[in-house]
């Protein structure tokens, strides 16, 4: 038997993925603008501005029972009005599926919401480890001045349910007030 080199790599310092099975996607303000509450600030911003990107290593088909996906999300620094750049956020389609996140670089917040709408938030920094249980929606928010880079590992049959968030939203939004992150109630 011969030892082989893996055809895929992760740069452990930056989270950058390369090689076979790596797919990537980018979300711009034009695609995610509905997330932000300040519509005047949104219309004044360039819709091609990148809000976040995701690279993932998908060695199996989406929906494969028992498989795993591995990825790196990068949320850009920036705000729409006073609201920090963030990911759309999602429950998993198979709602019982959990996920790990870990902070690689930058500074931000992991906003978590259970099915009853109850929220909590964890600080994300280099080396912070976050277990997201099943039944909990998750959103990353960049509160810093540089990219927020976060690693993730989740079941390949978890899926993403964005509709529940689009319908209901998170009950809080994170804004910059006097230079500091501050949670305020989201208007319904």
Q: Indicate whether 157 belongs to the interface with Fe ion (CB under 5 A).
A: no
Element (H, E) at 164: helix 163-168
Q: Which stretch binds Fe ion (CB under 5 A): 59-67, 91-99, 117-125, 177-185?
A: 91-99
Nearest to 83 by CA among 188, 182, 168, 163: 182
Q: Which residues of 20-147 form beta strands (DSSP E)? A: 22-28, 50-57, 68-75, 79-80, 83-84, 99-105, 108-114, 119-124, 129-132, 136-142
Residue number, 41 or 95, with CB nearest to Fe ion: 95
Neighbour tally for 77: CB within 10 Å: 16
Stretch touching Fe ion by CB under 5 A, among 27-35, 45-53, 93-101, 116-124: 93-101
Interface positions, 122-141, toward Fe ion (CB under 5 A): none
Judged by beta carbon, residue 45 or residue 156, the one nearer Fe ion is 156
* 99: contact with Fe ion by CB under 5 A: yes
Q: What is the DSSP letter of 86?
A: B
The CB-nearest residue to Fe ion is 99
Q: Which residues contact 120 (CB under 8 A, 6 or more apart)?
A: 112
Minimum distance, C-beta of residue 111 to Fe ion, in the bound complex (Å): 13
Tell the smallest beta-carbon distance from residue 180 to Fe ion (Å).
28
Nearer Cβ to Fe ion, position 90 or 107? 90
Residue 164 or 176 having the CB closest to Fe ion: 164
Interacting residues with Fe ion (CB under 5 A): 99
């Amino acid at each position: 038997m011969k030892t082989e080199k893996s055809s895929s790599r992760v740069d452990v310092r930056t989270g950058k993925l390369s090689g076979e099975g790596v797919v990537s996607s980018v979300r711009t303000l034009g695609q995610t603008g509905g997330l932000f509450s300040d519509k005047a600030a949104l219309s004044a911003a360039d819709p091609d501005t990148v809000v976040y990107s995701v690279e993932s290593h998908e060695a199996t088909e989406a929906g494969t029972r028992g498989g795993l996906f591995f990825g790196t999300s990068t949320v850009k620094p920036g705000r729409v009005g006073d609201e920090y750049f963030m990911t759309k956020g999602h429950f998993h389609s198979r709602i019982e599926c959990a996920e790990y996140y870990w902070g690689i670089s930058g500074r931000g917040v992991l906003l978590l919401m259970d099915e009853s709408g109850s929220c909590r938030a964890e600080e994300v920094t280099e080396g912070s480890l976050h277990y997201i249980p099943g039944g909990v929606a998750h959103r990353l928010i960049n509160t810093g001045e540089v990219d927020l880079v976060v690693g993730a590992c989740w079941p390949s049959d978890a899926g993403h349910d964005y509709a529940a968030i689009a319908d209901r939203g998170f009950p809080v939004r994170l804004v910059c007030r006097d230079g500091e992150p501050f949670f305020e109630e989201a208007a319904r």
